[in-house]
Amino acid sequence: MRHVYLLLDYPDSRAAITELVEDVKYWIPELRATITRRFANRYEHTKHTIIVSRNEEGVYEGDRADRLLFPFPLAEGQRWSSDRETQWRVKSLDASVEVPAGEFTHCLCIASSSGLDTGASVDRFYAPGVGLVLQHYSDEARATELRLTWHNIPLELFVLHAGDAFEPAVRPLVSRLQGEGVLVDARMYQFSNAAEFLACAARGFATGAKGVLIVSPEVIGMDLSSEAYERAIARPVRHPS
């Protein structure tokens, strides 16, 4: 499994954008995963591997999976320590975020504050079935933001709809499905002509997902022939390698 992030470092314009690629290998019987992280920008390339494990007490990470990421069971306002200087708390169990990889609802949001004199704080957002999708970090000297841009977790459903008029109906549907743990591609929301519809449908079906289509009367007149669909499927879909 692979996650691709962009790390934005606001004060440092020379290295303002860093790509982070995480390759995850799961060890199901032991409820463990090995995560290889590769950071790259115009100045440097680094590689680091950590271990994440889970048991009935919580999720742990680190070189030996000995640092508590968050405990179980989770409750809003819950507090814990990951080390002697860092305190964490659950800010929300139902947060919503939007990043380049899509819109995610019912996210876990945890926040930290350091006991040191750096003024460091972190907000992390974890989406059901996906993992970390957004992180804000700030201290007295700088601020960074980590955004998920792409992942290759198989989707279960994608949703297409035509026009803003359907937005009030579509968003509650997607939110409810995501709240039930269904992996929905919420990026494929709108199309205004047959070519856009067919291209979105082709990308959706390429993930192995099923689709839900919500249309307006104008869509009935679109060219949705099998030949047009074949042309749309033939268009290459680019993903990070």
Burial class (CB in 10 A: 0-12, 13-18, 19+), 215: middle
pLDDT at 11: 58
pLDDT at 122: 93
CATH topology of domain 2-151: YmcC-like fold (2.40.360)
Q: What is the pLDDT of residues 87-135, one digit of tens each?
A: 899 999 999 999 988 888 889 999 998 766 667 889 999 998 888 999 9
Q: Residue ranges of the domains in the chain?
A: 2-151, 157-234
Residues of the chain with pLDDT under 50: 13-15, 232-233, 235-241
pLDDT at 192: 65
pLDDT at 166: 72
For residue 198, CA distances in Å to 50, 93, 146, 163, 213 come to 41, 36, 32, 16, 12
pLDDT at 10: 67
3-state secondary structure string across 114-164: ECCCCCCEEEEEEECCCEEEEEEEECCCCEEEEEEEEECCCCCEEEEECCH
pTM of this prediction exceeds 0.85:
no
CATH topology of domain 157-234: Rossmann fold (3.40.50)
Distance CA 124, CA 132 (A): 7
Spatial CA neighbour of 174 closest among 205, 214, 131:
214
Output the six-digit token pair for 14.
């020379």
- The backbone region for 87, taken as left when phi is positive above 0, alpha when psi lies in -120 to 50, beta otherwise, is beta
Is 208:179 a contact under the CB 8 Å cutoff? no
Distance CA 118, CA 168 (A): 44
Could you say which DSSP state residue 224 is in? -
Distance from chain centroid for Cα 86: 25
Distance CA 241, CA 233 (A): 20
